[in-house]
């Protein structure tokens, strides 16, 4: 596949939040640059979604396509499987972005910063996937509250990673969200 570049590599053509993926947030040769990021074509030489976009007018986002939502999105909903990142909110996110791209990208940037914070301060070497998933699935207002609680408590003592993760689990449970990748 020829070189593929996008305006927003952190939010993919198909609606994934690349900036919240463990592969995006890693060092070394396995790091993914995000959809249409630098050398994306070398990491994902045969992306079917890009090929589909090219066949349908080179849309910037799948929701811009006249066929959206197509059978590809029915499969995402139907099989309920995830990869490195959860596909759980793809349709919801696409619908949100379609009506308010600017605010969605602002919130996604905020989520990216929250993820950086938690990976820097509370990644015990085994929690990157958890933080990526939790921040991806929880709403921004929930994350705002969690980070406020963590920073306030840390003024007095360093919190253990499990304690911080417990705040995420508690909030997810209250929202009916399961913090696991669906295999």
Tens digits of per-residue pLDDT, 3-35? Answer: 788 888 899 998 889 999 999 999 888 898 998
- Whether 6 is in a domain gets the answer no
CB 34 within 8 A of CB 27: no
- Whether 7 is in a domain gets the answer no
Task: Give the pLDDT confidence of 130-167 residue by residue, as tens digits.
Answer: 999 999 999 999 999 999 999 999 999 999 999 999 99
Cα distance between the two ends of the chain = 28
Q: Which domain holds residue 103?
A: 18-175
- Whether 68 is in a domain gets the answer yes
- Whether 8 is in a domain gets the answer no
Tokens 């999105």 appear where? 73
Ranking 39-48, 49-58, 100-109 by mean pLDDT, the lowest is 39-48
Instruction: Write out the two tokens for 166.
Output: 């417990």
- Whether 2 is in a domain gets the answer no
- Whether 181 is in a domain gets the answer no
Does residue 2 or residue 135 have the better pLDDT?
135
Does residue 85 or residue 58 have the better pLDDT?
58
Q: What's the pLDDT band for 48 if we cut at 50, 70, 90?
A: confident
The pLDDT mean for the chain works out to 89
Number of separate domains in the chain: 1
- Whether 180 is in a domain gets the answer no
Q: Judge whether residue 1 has pLDDT over 60.
A: no
Instruction: Give 125: exposed, middle or buried? Use CB within 10 Å, 0-12, 13-18, 19+.
Output: exposed
Q: Whole-model pTM?
A: 0.90
- Whether 183 is in a domain gets the answer no
Per-residue model confidence (pLDDT) at position 90: 84
């Amino acid at each position: 596949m020829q070189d593929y570049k996008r305006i927003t590599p952190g939010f993919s053509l198909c609606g994934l939040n690349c900036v919240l993926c463990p592969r995006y947030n890693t060092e070394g040769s396995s790091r993914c640059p995000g959809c249409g990021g630098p050398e994306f074509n070398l990491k994902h030489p045969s992306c079917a979604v890009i090929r589909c976009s090219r066949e349908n007018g080179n849309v910037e986002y799948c929701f811009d396509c006249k066929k959206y939502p197509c059978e590809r999105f029915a499969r995402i909903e139907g099989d309920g499987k995830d990869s490195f990142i959860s596909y759980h909110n793809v349709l919801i996110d696409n619908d949100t972005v379609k009506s308010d791209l600017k605010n969605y990208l602002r919130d996604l940037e905020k989520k990216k910063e929250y993820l950086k914070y938690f990976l820097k301060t509370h990644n015990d070497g085994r929690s990157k996937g958890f933080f990526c998933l939790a921040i991806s699935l929880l709403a921004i207002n929930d994350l705002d509250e969690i980070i406020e609680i963590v920073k306030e408590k840390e003024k007095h003592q360093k919190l253990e990673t499990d304690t911080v993760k417990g705040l995420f689990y508690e909030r997810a449970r209250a929202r009916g969200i399961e913090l696991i990748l669906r295999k």
